[in-house]
Amino acid sequence: MANIIEHRNDLLGDAYYEVRHETGLTVLVYPKAGYSTSYAVIGTNYGSIDDALKVKGGEEKVLPWGTAHFLEHKLFESEELDAFERFAETGASANAYTTFDRTCYLFSCSSNFEKNLEILLDFVQHPYFTQETVEKEQGIIGQEIRMYLDEPGWQVLFNLLKSLYHKHPVKVDIAGTEESISHISADLLYECYESFYNLNNMVLACAGNVTVDDVLAICDRCLIQTPEVLVERPDKGEPADIVQPSIAQEFAVTIPTFALGFKETHETPIRSMKERILTDLLMDVVAGETSELYERLLREGLIDTGFGYEYFTGPGYATVIFEGRSRDPEQVAEAIKAEVRKLRETGVDPVQFDRLRKMNYGKTVMSYNDIDGLANGLVGAYMNGDELFEELDLYREITVEDANEQLKHQMLEEYSALSVVHGPDETI
């Protein structure tokens, strides 16, 4: 009998369960009373930043950019019915996505959960790639890459990352480039699959109208024991300094789009949940809706309500990004930097800190409804080595001193860059 670990949060009245299956797959189950739908997602710790394959004890092999995403597209196919066709038989809605650091396959359904989970586990364990289908896919993905070339928000982000990162592959589009994907072959996909898709490198999360027993019974039936393969994520050797402090691109836009990023360098590859929560709060303090800066920029017409920010972080990269549209991105960037300088001197206002802590606690509580968000959140937390519910406790524990301490190492001007996409009529 497998050892089941219960993770419970009394405040929420929720619990999820964790099991390490004998095949090496980690299984997480989050039952939700009263829900009619179920959601399952299986993910591998393999994303677009993995531009090298290194099995423990082996040599490092360079991979073309976009390989993880390409493999995701192809794994849906099989010699007979492809996975979409099989899910169409049961009524489930299925999908997949690739991020910088992982690839996930998922479905949601309101009936036939057992059958659907069988299909999911089956197609993920049975790759079928041929040179012919790989070549066809090069055309489809080429179009997908071209579609993103027309998205100013996407371009402004990758231009920023190119200005911040010398080596780290986070600076390249998740789908790769039309050139890079032309080097992908069926054999290469098999090679990547055999390593990255080892069950020891994967996690299954189910949420909603599900039980631990049902999920484990299906796993027992459908998972195939294979020899353990451990994949390493080699350090990218990214230096601390940035490439260039500004970048601009001309585009068919009427109001310039901008992204201001502050690159960080850390000794460990992954940021802890506490660091991430404090960063979120610090960004709120600097330019959130309750800040004087936000109100002033809005009043002066320098930003619109699409202004936002995020802590853009994953294995080996961490950047605080402020983004939006502005007629004068330079002035917005200067105002943000000035606000950070001021904050470093005065420290965070304790009243504002408490207000924002309450706000973020509330927003976190409200995120515990959606089973897709929860299942994907479980996958992300697991890959980061976090416990999902830890977040809520942290919001009650963190102090204004923690925030001030962290600010000493964050949003440093010498590591910042401004990326702007502007219309043809403007001169920057």
Partner 1 sequence: MDNTFVVTTVEPGFRVCSYHTDRFKTGILSVNLVVPLAGNVAEKSLLPALLCASCRAYPDLLSLNRKLAELYGAELSPSVSKHGENLVLRISMTMIGDRFALDGESISLECARLLCKALFEPNVEDGAFLAAEVEREKRIRLDRIEALKSSKRSWAQKQMIELMCADEAYSLPILGREEDIRALTPEQLCTSWQDLLKTAFVQLQVVGDLEVEPITALFREYFDHVEDRNVVRGKTVVIPSAEAVKRGVEEQDIAQSKLVMGFRCGMHEPFENYAAMRTFTDLFGGGTYSRLFMNVREKQSLCYYCAARLTAAKGILTVQSGVETENAEKAEEEILKQLEEMKAGGVTAEDLEKSHRSMEDFFLSVFDTPEELDGWLFSQVTDDEFQTPEDLVAEMKQVTVEQVIEMANNVTLDTVFLLKGTGTGDDGEVD
Question: Residues with catalytic annotation?
Answer: 72
Verify binding: residue 302, partner 1, rule CB under 8 A.
Answer: no
Verify binding: residue 298, partner 1, rule CB under 8 A.
Answer: yes
H or E stretch covering 271: none
Measure the CA–CA gap between 121 and 219, rounded to whole angstroms.
Answer: 8
Cβ closest to partner 1, residue 216 vs residue 283: 283
CB of 91 to partner 1, least distance (A): 3
Verify binding: residue 422, partner 1, rule CB under 8 A.
Answer: no
Verify binding: residue 2, partner 1, rule CB under 8 A.
Answer: no
Verify binding: residue 255, partner 1, rule CB under 8 A.
Answer: yes
Candidate list 247, 335, 348, 394; residue touching partner 1; CB under 8 A:
247
| Structural contact between residues 168 and 236, judged by C-beta atoms closer than 8 angstroms | yes
Interface segment toward partner 1; rule CB under 8 A; list 17-25, 62-70, 122-130, 143-151: 143-151
> DSSP secondary structure string, 12-40?
TTEEEEEEE-TTS-EEEEEE-TT---EEE
Cβ closest to partner 1, residue 61 vs residue 146: 146
Cβ closest to partner 1, residue 93 vs residue 265: 93
Candidate list 25, 41, 68, 92; residue touching partner 1; CB under 8 A:
92
Verify binding: residue 305, partner 1, rule CB under 8 A.
Answer: yes
Measure the CA–CA gap between 185 and 127, rounded to whole angstroms.
Answer: 14
Q: How far is CA 362 from the centre of its chain?
A: 22
Verify binding: residue 37, partner 1, rule CB under 8 A.
Answer: yes
In the shown chain, the binding pattern of residues 212 to 241 toward partner 1, with x for contact by CB under 8 A and - for none, equals ------------------------------
Verify binding: residue 167, partner 1, rule CB under 8 A.
Answer: no
Interface segment toward partner 1; rule CB under 8 A; list 86-94, 186-194, 211-219, 338-346: 86-94
CB of 225 to partner 1, least distance (A): 31
CB of 323 to partner 1, least distance (A): 13
Measure the CA–CA gap between 273 and 215, rounded to whole angstroms.
Answer: 28
CB neighbourhood size of 14 (10 A): 17
Q: How many helices (H) and strands (E) does the chain have?
A: 15, 15
Cβ closest to partner 1, residue 187 vs residue 292: 292
Longest dimension (CA), the chain: 69
Helix (H/G/I), strand (E/B), else coil: 181: helix
Task: State the sign of the Cα–Cα–Cα–Cα dihedral 299, 305, 307, 311.
Answer: positive
| Structural contact between residues 207 and 107, judged by C-beta atoms closer than 8 angstroms | no
Phi-psi region of 316 (alpha: psi -120 to 50; beta: other; left: phi over 0): left
Interface segment toward partner 1; rule CB under 8 A; list 47-55, 213-221, 242-250, 313-321: 242-250
In the shown chain, the binding pattern of residues 172 to 201 toward partner 1, with x for contact by CB under 8 A and - for none, equals ------x-----------------------
CB of 310 to partner 1, least distance (A): 17
Verify binding: residue 97, partner 1, rule CB under 8 A.
Answer: no
CB of 253 to partner 1, least distance (A): 4
Cβ closest to partner 1, residue 25 vs residue 134: 134
CA distances from 170 to 178, 238, 323 (A): 17, 11, 18
Verify binding: residue 114, partner 1, rule CB under 8 A.
Answer: no
Measure the CA–CA gap between 232 and 56, rounded to whole angstroms.
Answer: 6
Verify binding: residue 361, partner 1, rule CB under 8 A.
Answer: yes
Helix 113-125 vs helix 83-90: crossing angle, to nearest 10: 170
Helix 400-407 vs helix 329-346: crossing angle, to nearest 10: 120
CB of 210 to partner 1, least distance (A): 12
Candidate list 15, 20, 35, 229; residue touching partner 1; CB under 8 A:
35
CA distances from 378 to 8, 58, 172, 220, 418 (A): 14, 31, 26, 21, 33
